[in-house]
Structures are given as structure tokens and as C-alpha cells.
């Protein structure tokens, strides 16, 4: 199991969290997505390491900006 944490900018509400969780959860290999709204942390659990570019693309598809791994 692999756990990776990223910082996401632009999330301001529960809907933002839902959008990010939905998009990132569709990335192949991702088994769990957690978002800490107040500090903008996105934590991803997966069976194997996931390409950060795929996570970035999913976050951008949801309408937010990835700051990078934390």
C-alpha cells in the first residue's frame, strides 16, 4: 500500500472536497481519497505508486490547482 499527500489550492467548501474526491477516486489504482479542507491536503492511498501527473490532471479536472507533493 502506498500513501501520498499533496497540497491543493482553491478549495473552499464541502462541494470542492466532493469534486476533488470524485475525480481523484477515478484514477486507476487509487483505493482511498481523503481531503483536509482547512489546510488543503489531499491524501491518496493506492495499491502501488500512482503517477503524480494523473493526480494533477484529476485535481485540475475538478477545477483546482495542485501545489505539489507535501
Residue 7: give its domain's CATH number: 3.30.70.100
At residue 1, the pLDDT reads 87
Residue 70 binned pLDDT confidence (cut-offs 50, 70, 90): low
Q: For residue 59, give the nearest of 22, 29, 13, 30 by alpha carbon.
A: 22
Strands 41-46 and 2-9 turn out to be antiparallel
Residues 18-56 have pLDDT tens digits of 999 999 999 999 999 999 999 999 999 999 989 999 999
Q: Which pLDDT belongs to residue 39?
A: 95
pTM, rounded to two decimals:
0.90
pLDDT surpasses 60 at 69: no
**End-to-end alpha-carbon separation of the chain, Å?**
18
Domain that holds residue 22: 2-69
Of the candidates 3, 1, 9, the one whose C-alpha atom is nearest the C-alpha of residue 56 is 9
Number of domain units in the chain: 1
Amino acid at each position: 500500500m502506498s500513501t501520498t499527500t499533496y497540497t491543493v489550492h482553491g478549495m473552499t467548501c464541502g462541494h470542492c472536497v466532493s469534486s476533488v474526491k470524485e475525480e481523484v477516486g477515478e484514477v486507476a489504482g487509487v483505493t482511498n481519497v481523503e481531503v483536509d479542507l482547512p489546510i488543503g491536503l489531499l491524501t491518496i492511498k493506492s495499491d502501488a505508486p500512482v503517477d503524480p501527473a494523473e493526480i494533477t490532471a484529476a485535481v485540475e479536472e475538478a477545477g483546482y490547482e495542485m501545489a505539489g507533493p507535501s
